[in-house]
Chains A and B, each alone.
Chain A
């Protein structure tokens, strides 16, 4: 019964109208040997009272970041979201509508998608952004596949190892059977992509070169390194961003020669939600837009004002099938809307000020670590960072984390968690700060470290 409005009597009326004796007659073309007469082995239906109790108990077994001072980032940075955002997201007109294929009855969603695209274009300094990708790692894959079509018949992709390891792992999965080779360029000892090593890895077979900034160690990379290395051989340059607030303070990829920017835009107020749903993005130069994956909302000025509709759709799977630019269909619509709402409320000034808060707190913590004087901890790399840095731990990382946990602090992400089994950087802890961290939290963090 739960969400089926028709009463049993009404269902019987419908059966009569349809002209069958029982509901099972509607399934007459199902081979009898697979048609099940008995109900599936599940529990009886649960009421809302029971659901709240049962699933509430599960939720209570998790450490909500709200109960701890959290320094977890490493690709997902939960920032504040204005209270109205989660409330407006519950409006049925947004929540319970489909992809806006019928623009006359979807101007709301379409306008918002166009705004999302515009925010992404402005932030990245590029011309065209799509309506969203699943999340950051698959967005990077799509960027490479797009570059492959644009460069035609080249066979190799080059990616810096300072890109998030889960992005690299995802890339390996998708490219495994497409006949494209992946060249991973190791980071220099300073934790940043080495320009000479990167340039040396690029040749006439190179499709594109990808770097990330801030990179997996939180270090700021210079986009022009990738752009120069790529363009010297006629390849494209891809810039990965997974902390979008950094773009309020750092030169955007599009202004530094990057051709395609992609990554994760969850920073704009999305709940962490154990890692999904998030919102990937992809933006590119105007000349590449016919190869962009996924949906695109366009804007048409009419005498009655602007109207919006999905456009350039012949790129997509529902029209071009196996020749489509991507197989993506359902994307992250509602969370692109959430990011758009957050960005609207933050605005130009709020963006910059939030970024400055993140940066200042991170700098404060780094300075504090520099002054510990115990010789047990150090900021691992000297380069500039935004809101995350790698902490080199003398004591085992797990011990450091448990000590912090006792002080109600989720102290960071062990590097080994990003690439399980790789054995790399076992002494590194990635520590991220946002506007949500207070000075008391930072001081408490430092006090715990001092205790080692």
Chain B
């Protein structure tokens, strides 16, 4: 039983990306939210900001830790999840749904090839736990 949806791809830094046409929605995985614990604040970029693939686009904070967020593809921010301002715990409760972070207009999807599908990501998480 996979806890990771099949309709998207996953990065080694534990972001997920779902591409529809030339826009992509990005969030962090269920595994990442569990590692982080109760999310208390999410710092997201401004609309229109442009990022390279792998670039830091924000941070996500629990009470005692901060994680940087990396964009799995190059793109321009077209939407941010405003609901997270008042309800950052949506990232914990529904990381693959209501807890999404940003939507980007993909400017280059070259990087997508390097990402994992659900099954591969699940294995990656298991391996990481053993290491």
Residue numbers of A with Cβ under 8 A of B are 290, 313-314, 319-320
Contact = CB atoms under 8 A, between A and B. Distances in A.
Contacts of B130: none
A290 B64 CA distance: 15
Interface string B14-55: 000000000000000000000000000101000000000000
A319 B61 CA distance: 11
A313 B64 contact: yes
A152 B66 CA distance: 21
A313 B65 CA distance: 9
B63 interface: yes
Counting contact residues on chain B (CB < 8 A from A), the size range is under 10
14 contacts: A290-B41, A290-B43, A313-B63, A313-B64, A314-B41, A314-B61, A314-B63, A314-B64, A314-B65, A314-B66, A319-B64, A319-B65, A319-B66, A320-B66
Contacts of A319: 64-66
A151 to B, nearest CB: 15
Contacts of B43: 290
Given A314-B41, A314-B63, A314-B65, 11 more contacts: A290-B41, A290-B43, A313-B63, A313-B64, A314-B61, A314-B64, A314-B66, A319-B64, A319-B65, A319-B66, A320-B66
* 3 shortest interchain CB distances as A-B pairs: A314-B61, A314-B66, A320-B66
Dominant SS among interface residues on chain A = helix
Contacts of B63: 313-314
Looking at B41, B43, B63, B64, which has the most chain A CB atoms within 10 Å of its CB? B63
Nearest to B59: A314
A369 to B, nearest CB: 56
A310 to B, nearest CB: 10
A319 B65 CA distance: 6
A314 to B, nearest CB: 5
Interface in B69-117: none
Contacts of A313: 63-64
A313 B63 CA distance: 7
Contacts of A320: 66
A313 B40 CA distance: 11
Contacts of A314: 41, 61, 63-66
A320 B64 CA distance: 10
Contacts of B41: 290, 314
A290 B66 CA distance: 13
B48 to A, nearest CB: 16
Contacts of A290: 41, 43
A436 B87 CA distance: 53
A367 B29 CA distance: 73
B84 to A, nearest CB: 15
B71 to A, nearest CB: 19
A319 B59 CA distance: 13
A314 B66 CA distance: 7
Looking at A290, A313, A314, which has the most chain B CB atoms within 10 Å of its CB? A314
Contacts of B65: 314, 319
A290 B65 CA distance: 15
A290 B61 CA distance: 12
Nearest to B66: A314
A451 B61 CA distance: 68
Contacts of B66: 314, 319-320
B62 to A, nearest CB: 8
